[in-house]
Structure 1
């Protein structure tokens, strides 16, 4: 998953505390519903996607009718397949239409519109699947994948994207929406204390970011650093481990709970 944190796209703080939820029945897929330039999908225009995130958040914060506390979606996916953290996991969305609907499903929005860029790219569809699986792994989302229009009177997420949802929300070129997941076995605390340089460290860091346990100012990357240890300490505290087990050095049960994907 190509994941972009709130810090990385320079999100503004929420206006007030977001409502914590333990999980949902699943995820609803959205689109922007206004004009999105077709040129946004060009590879050279990916740098504009972070600016679009900031503009979307600003427009939501300025919406006095809805009184949004933040950008309405839990995650957004650009045409290049990057997953941008919106409200994030375990936060009630503001996008599904009513308080009941917002509690029942997370909201993931594709950067698509009702004119201009209206058809999702293959990279975007893969990113939408990444976002759904992230919310399942990190946010307790159930198995349902639906469109915004399912249960609420709206054209969202548009014809092309809704057709993909109705066809099973498959990854491009795939027939199985739930490929087997493989997780990295615990390499031992001594391995981490040797200051390794490995893709495993990068994968661990990305999972920590997804769990809201980031102490990174940049990265994560393959080299084990003090930032990795500080981030893992946050994970230990999130698990509620006793202080003597919260020293930032991974243990086998803490590692298993983090579900670091195998390369």
Structure 2
């Protein structure tokens, strides 16, 4: 993958703290929806792409009606196949139309427009696949690859990109995309994630494993909302593992989480 980090393309800081997400159902594909010069696809014009990402971030930060925290996309892909880090992995996107939709999928935007450059290049399609696979490995993205218009009334990502999505988003040179291997166990969402009072199927899956291991402090549940009962149940698990009392505070750590073997959601 030809990856361009935020610092490399010159991103401005986020206006607000971005919302952490542990996983999504998958990725939604977007296009710019405005005119993109056809000349941008020329090899010698790749030097313009970082500036284009900066301009899109600036326009989003200036949009006080939407009140974006940052560039709305998780990533952008230029016609030359480079993946530009937007909000990035494990950060809730702002591009899918509603808060619920933003939590369900990441958003990857191709530098393709409604006029000018309207058909993605092969390098760009390969870059889109790279971005999807990066978000799967680093961001807990699920198997789904959909268009922005799936679930929201919009023409995005345009006819050419949407036709590619409907074919299964194959990498150029193949007829079908490789079947992703779903991990057997849920990756550790991070110690701080539990302190944000999360509501997620991951919490319920964790609770079921705690019950199965005889570490339940639940009166009802477990359910998707993190509660004091989840913390007390996890404290019991920490003690069952034989951890020193100062490490039995009910807040999951990576080693303790991995030992619990929570199935992937």
Tell me, yes or no, whether TM beats 0.5: yes
* Whole-angstrom CA distance in 1 between matches of 2:89 and 2:114: 27
Normalising by structure 1, report the TM-score: 0.68
Q: How does 1:183-194 map to 2 (within 5 A)?
A: none
Contact 2:168 / 2:176 at 8 angstroms: preserved in 1? no
- Unaligned 5+ segments in structure 1 are 182-238, 242-263
Partner residue in 2 for 1:57: 57
Q: How does 1:106-255 map to 2 (within 5 A)?
A: 106-178=106-178
Three-state SS of the structure 2 residue aligned to 1:25 is strand
Could you tell me how far 1:240 is from its partner in structure 2? Answer: 5.3
Partner residue in 2 for 1:235: none
Could you tell me how far 1:14 is from its partner in structure 2? Answer: 0.3
Normalising by structure 2, report the TM-score: 0.68
Q: Which deviations, in whole Å up to 9, do the C-alpha atoms of 1:129-154 show, x marking residues without a partner?
A: 00000000000000000000000000
1:80 aligns with 2:80: yes
* Whole-angstrom CA distance in 2 between matches of 1:119 and 1:20: 33
* Whole-angstrom CA distance in 2 between matches of 1:140 and 1:165: 20
Partner residue in 1 for 2:69: 69
Question: Which 4+ residue blocks in structure 1 deviate beyond 2 angstroms?
Answer: none
Contact 2:6 / 2:85 at 8 angstroms: preserved in 1? yes
Q: Tell which structure's C-alpha radius of gyration is larger.
A: 2
Could you tell me how far 1:113 is from its partner in structure 2? Answer: 0.5
Q: Which deviations, in whole Å up to 9, do the C-alpha atoms of 1:192-244 show, x marking residues without a partner?
A: xxxxxxxxxxxxxxxxxxxxxxxxxxxxxxxxxxxxxxxxxxxxxxx957xxx
Partner residue in 1 for 2:103: 103
Partner residue in 2 for 1:25: 25
Could you tell me how far 1:178 is from its partner in structure 2? Answer: 1.6
- Unaligned 5+ segments in structure 2 are 182-252, 256-265
Three-state SS of the structure 2 residue aligned to 1:47 is helix
Could you tell me how far 1:177 is from its partner in structure 2? Answer: 1.1
Q: Which deviations, in whole Å up to 9, do the C-alpha atoms of 1:61-101 show, x marking residues without a partner?
A: 00011000000000000000000000000000000000000
Three-state SS of the structure 2 residue aligned to 1:91 is coil
